[in-house]
């Protein structure tokens, strides 16, 4: 197909023509909004590096979740910011922990909204790592029981889905077993399957107070240089019983999203992380680009690469545009 016989511009001439040949459609159904919850009443602490986002006490969280449901976003991903941290992350699996309380309140008020809980230890450990720490090493196998307990406690509180983000080996199998043994065989696992060790999590760590107190996460999160390893990571989680697999971050890893889409037939999520959000917000504030357009372009790119659903701090803003 060579010029002048083929002229791609013929089908770009009007908006109607462009609509007719559009390959990728983003809808509100594709969006999942991450939210942060803290204890207390009527709290709405702004997160400086994530304009428009807050740490919310449960009462305010429920109010925002009502809006989320109203606008048609099917699900939220919930992160807890506990009052106390300790070496064993006990507040991660406490019956009266912040996530457990928030899930109960959300399900009471909004039974239809899908509540996904992030399962990790880093917000709950005093050292800020995602697993059990022995000296200065993160002990993989000693972490599994704590993670399974955490996931189970979320399910007991009423969570619709659990999402382990710790990147310990073998956690999906351990969580599946704990859920199945306790009559939660109907609760799906969304595994953060290929989660890279990324600088783009910076704003999140401010929001969740979860920065590691020593070292970094390179011994458990993936090396940004690796794509084949993502196939092994994802395959492993599928074999262990994951129902939805996630790639994270999204924009710097579109090649990984596209590659995993070819390899795996499970539903796939991509996490458009805090730093991806912050970059667009900052550039928009400086007047250096059009934030709304950059947001919609980013989301369509993530979908085009192959993601079925997108975790994004832009969920409400994007849904508003999609519906206008
Ligand atoms: C917890 C967790 C992190 C994110 C989601 N779950 C931070 C991290 O791994 O340090 C990052 C989300 C974001 O940046 O938006 N392990």
195 assigned to active site: yes
Please name which of 98, 93, 89 lies closest in space to residue 38, comparing C-alpha atoms.
98
* Mean pLDDT computed over 300-306: 98
* Mean pLDDT computed over 81-103: 97
Domains in the chain: ranges and CATH:
25-323 (3.20.20.70)
Q: Is the pLDDT of residue 84 over 90?
A: yes
Alpha-carbon distance of 281 to 261, in angstroms, equals: 29
pLDDT at 313: 98
- Ligand 1 centroid to residue 263 C-alpha, Å: 25
* Mean pLDDT computed over 142-161: 98
- Ligand 1 centroid to residue 143 C-alpha, Å: 17
- With b for 16 or more beta-carbon neighbours within 10 A and e for fewer, the 43-65 pattern comes to beeebebbeebbbbbbebbbebb
248 assigned to active site: yes
Is there an atom of ligand 1 within 6 Å of 209 CB? no
Is there an atom of ligand 1 within 6 Å of 250 CB? no
Residue of minimum CA distance from atom 7 in ligand 1: 201
Question: Which residue is it, tokens 């809808």?
Answer: 27
Q: Is the pLDDT of residue 1 over 90?
A: no
Of the residues 201, 210, 212, 275, which should be mutated to test ligand 1's pocket, given the most ligand atoms within 8 Å of the CB?
A: 201
248-258 pLDDT tens trace: 999 999 999 99
209-218 pLDDT tens trace: 999 999 999 9
- Ligand 1 centroid to residue 26 C-alpha, Å: 24
The pair of three-digit structure tokens given for residue 92, joined into one six-digit string: 């991660």
pLDDT at 112: 98
Q: Mean pLDDT of all residues in the chain? A: 97
* Mean pLDDT computed over 194-208: 96
* Mean pLDDT computed over 79-107: 97
pLDDT at 100: 98
pLDDT at 89: 97
Provide the pLDDT confidence category of residue 45 given band limits of 50, 70 and 90: very high
* Number of Cβ within a 10 Å radius of residue 110: 17
* Mean pLDDT computed over 173-184: 98
* Mean pLDDT computed over 197-205: 97
Is there an atom of ligand 1 within 6 Å of 122 CB? yes
Please name which of 130, 145, 151, 149 lies closest in space to residue 208, comparing C-alpha atoms.
130
More reliable by pLDDT, 324 or 271: 271
Please name which of 222, 248, 245, 243 lies closest in space to residue 34, comparing C-alpha atoms.
248
* Mean pLDDT computed over 179-197: 98
Q: Is the pLDDT of residue 118 over 90?
A: yes
Q: Helix H segments across the chain?
A: 15-20, 58-71, 98-109, 140-157, 171-181, 202-208, 228-240, 254-263, 274-286, 291-305, 315-322
pLDDT at 8: 97
262-295 pLDDT tens trace: 999 999 999 999 999 999 999 999 999 999 999 9
* Mean pLDDT computed over 121-131: 96
Q: Please state, for a pLDDT cut of 70, what percent of the chain lies above it.
A: 100
Question: Of these residues, 149, 195, 281, 303, which one is catalytic?
Answer: 195
Alpha-carbon distance of 266 to 5, in angstroms, equals: 41
Is there an atom of ligand 1 within 6 Å of 124 CB? no
Provide the pLDDT confidence category of residue 315 given band limits of 50, 70 and 90: very high
């Amino acid at each position: 197909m060579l010029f002048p016989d083929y002229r791609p511009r013929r089908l770009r001439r009007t908006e109607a023509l462009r609509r007719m040949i559009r390959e990728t459609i983003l809808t509100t159904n594709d969006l999942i909004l991450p939210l942060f919850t803290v204890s207390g009443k009527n709290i709405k602490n702004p997160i400086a590096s994530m304009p428009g986002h807050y740490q919310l006490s449960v009462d305010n969280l429920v109010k925002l979740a009502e809006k989320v449901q109203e606008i048609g976003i099917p699900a939220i991903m919930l992160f807890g910011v506990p009052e106390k941290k300790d070496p064993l992350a006990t507040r991660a699996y406490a019956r009266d922990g912040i996530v457990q309380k928030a899930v109960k309140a959300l399900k009471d008020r909004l039974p239809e909204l899908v509540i996904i809980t992030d399962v990790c230890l880093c917000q709950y450990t005093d050292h800020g790592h995602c697993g059990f720490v022995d000296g200065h090493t993160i002990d993989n196998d000693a972490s599994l029981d704590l993670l399974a307990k955490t996931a189970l406690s979320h399910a007991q509180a009423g969570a619709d889905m659990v999402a382990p983000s710790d990147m310990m080996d073998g956690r999906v199998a351990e969580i599946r077993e704990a859920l199945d043994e306790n009559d939660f065989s109907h609760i799906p696992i969304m595994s953060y399957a290929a989660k890279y060790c990324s600088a783009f999590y910076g704003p999140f760590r401010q929001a969740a107070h979860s920065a590691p107190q020593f070292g970094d996460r390179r011994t458990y999160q993936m090396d940004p240089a690796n794509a084949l390893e993502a196939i092994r990571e994802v395959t492993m989680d599928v074999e262990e019983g994951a129902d939805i697999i996630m790639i994270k971050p999204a924009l710097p890893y579109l090649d990984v999203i596209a590659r995993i889409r070819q390899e795996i037939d499970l539903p796939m999520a991509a996490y458009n992380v805090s730093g991806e959000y912050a970059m667009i917000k900052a550039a928009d504030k400086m007047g250096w680009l059009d934030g709304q357009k950059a947001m919609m372009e980013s989301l369509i790119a993530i979908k085009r690469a192959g993601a079925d659903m997108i975790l994004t701090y832009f969920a409400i803003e994007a849904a508003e545009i999609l519906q206008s």
